[in-house]
Structure 1
Amino acid sequence: MPTAINMTGKAALVTGAASGLGRATALALGRAGADVLIVDVNAAGLDETAEQLRALDVRAETYAVDLSSADNCRTAVAKAVEAFGRLDALCNVAGVIFFSHTPEMSAADYEKTLAVNLSAPFYLIQAAIPHLLEANGAVVNVTSSAAFVGEAYVAAYCATKAGLTHMTKALAMEYTHKPIRFNAVAPGGMMTNIATNMKMPADLDHSLIARFSGLRGLVEVDDVAEMVAFLASPAAAGYHGACINIDKGITAG
């Protein structure tokens, strides 16, 4: 990062923090001095992340919950404020992806994709805005290179990530004259638990998959996490309505 990240005395909420990019983001914020409420459906993974955060001498609280419920999103924000007395940053990292031939995608998988990837960030933001305004805080949404290029077999995922990217810009315009910042980070493929547990139908056309596979390989999780933490911090005061692509050139052409 071009500017040192200092989150001492500040509090953050990070979703999807039981593993992968969410965990890396929580740790990046912890190293910068932030107290962190970490949220995920995976309670055991959250406990591991919390242990690593506490080793950094910051406070860490966990909330194991399914964010596909609007009420759970609102409760997550309330728990962060209750635990730390403030909220300075909301990092929407949690996400799901289901590969499928579009005619064969189940309604449950479609609805889950929309709920976790698009609705949950909205409800979290909605609940967090009053606290972030008070703290001159920031929202960072993790979208994807799939927001900018069509990717075969993941129509619902692409739609949610494009929607979240545009939601970020719309919120930035709505709050242009208020003390709150909205930004997004759009990574390419990373080696996370989502990638390792990904299930694909056996009869996919792999030449189509190759079209959105980076020629330079996978993106480093820590590189993305550091950018999320930077945008969440006062060091990124000049960023508002931005979407930073970290995809090793996937969306370049």
Structure 2
Amino acid sequence: MRYAGRVALVTGAGSGIGLATALRLAGDGALVACLDIRPGITGDRLGGAALDLEVDVTDEAAVRTAVEETVSWAGRLDLVVNAAGVASFAHTTDVEWREWQRVLEVNLTGPFLVTREALPHLVESKGAVVNVASLAGVRGWRYSAAYSASKGGLVALTRSLAVEYAKAGVRFACVCPGSVDTPLRQAIEPVPDADPDLLTHGRALVDPPVADPEEIAAAIAFLGSKEARFATGAVLRMDGGAGA
């Protein structure tokens, strides 16, 4: 019960890593505000320990309202987990401007907006932020110009804020998963005319080579806890040895 008496806000809590994280934190005693563009999925499974909020993380006003509602509901805020995200894989010459903009807005601007609104409350509670980046954000990745740029930016944002807010007592860390069994992964369309050699690039070395969302959630729960005091600025790869 490492989160007893603490309050977490999780974006993308309706599925995948976000859902697994919300369930893990609640199981560890937290009250969890579950933000998702499709509300109601997580709260039904957590009962009174959860607040379901319909939020588009790229909507500045909606994010501000969601943070205010969370603090009004629970009285404080101790942890933010930015797990909402979208994927995009294509030949770079096929990436349209609107798609580039969509990926950057959800994967990078969204975490920035949520974190910015939460920071006054996290300073008060000496809390933490854990961002969900990707292996694609720390090494070269095939057919992922927009996605890699967004996740690499999220890694840099995490490190920058870790430095800026260290003296204020707010910790920042991020996890960089490789392949994870989520609806996001299952919905990825094959890239036409892909180079077979590139498709084997970055495969996990463990068996099975795809992680369960719960494995990533366990790492998030640690990084967001008081036990990870000395891990501020940490970038934890959860890639099954793919980036080794």
AA at the equivalent of 1:60? A
Per mean C-alpha deviation after superposition, the further-off stretch among 62-71 and 173-182 is: 62-71
Distance in 1 of aligned mates of 2:112 and 2:41: 27
What do the CA deviations read for 1:47-81 (whole angstroms, capped 9, x no partner)? 23112112xxx521111122122222222211211
AA at the equivalent of 1:136? K
Which residue, out of 18, 21, 32, partners 1:22? 18
What do the CA deviations read for 1:101-160 (whole angstroms, capped 9, x no partner)? 111112221111000100011111111110001111000001111111111111111111
| Match of residue 90 from structure 2 | 100
AA at the equivalent of 1:23? L
Q: Within the alignment, does 1:138 sit opposite 2:128 as a pair?
A: yes
| Match of residue 52 from structure 1 | 45
| Match of residue 203 from structure 1 | 193
Query: Percent of aligned positions with the same letter in both sequences?
Result: 39
Q: Secondary structure at 1:167's aligned position in 2? A: helix
Distance in 2 of aligned mates of 1:185 and 1:198: 21
Any stretches of 5+ residues in structure 2 without a counterpart?
Answer: none
1:179 Cα deviation (Å)?
A: 1.5
1:18 Cα deviation (Å)?
A: 0.5
Aligned residues: 242
AA at the equivalent of 1:230? F
| Match of residue 232 from structure 2 | 240
AA at the equivalent of 2:42? T
Q: Secondary structure at 1:72's aligned position in 2? A: helix
**Contact persistence 1:68–1:112 (CA under 8 A):** no
TM-score, reference length from structure 2: 0.95
Q: Within the alignment, does 1:35 sit opposite 2:31 as a pair?
A: yes
Give the root-mean-square deviation of aligned CA atoms: 1.3
Q: Secondary structure at 1:223's aligned position in 2? A: helix
Distance in 2 of aligned mates of 1:206 and 1:23: 33
TM-score, reference length from structure 1: 0.92
Distance in 2 of aligned mates of 1:196 and 1:103: 24
Q: Secondary structure at 1:68's aligned position in 2? A: coil
**Contact persistence 2:57–2:114 (CA under 8 A):** no
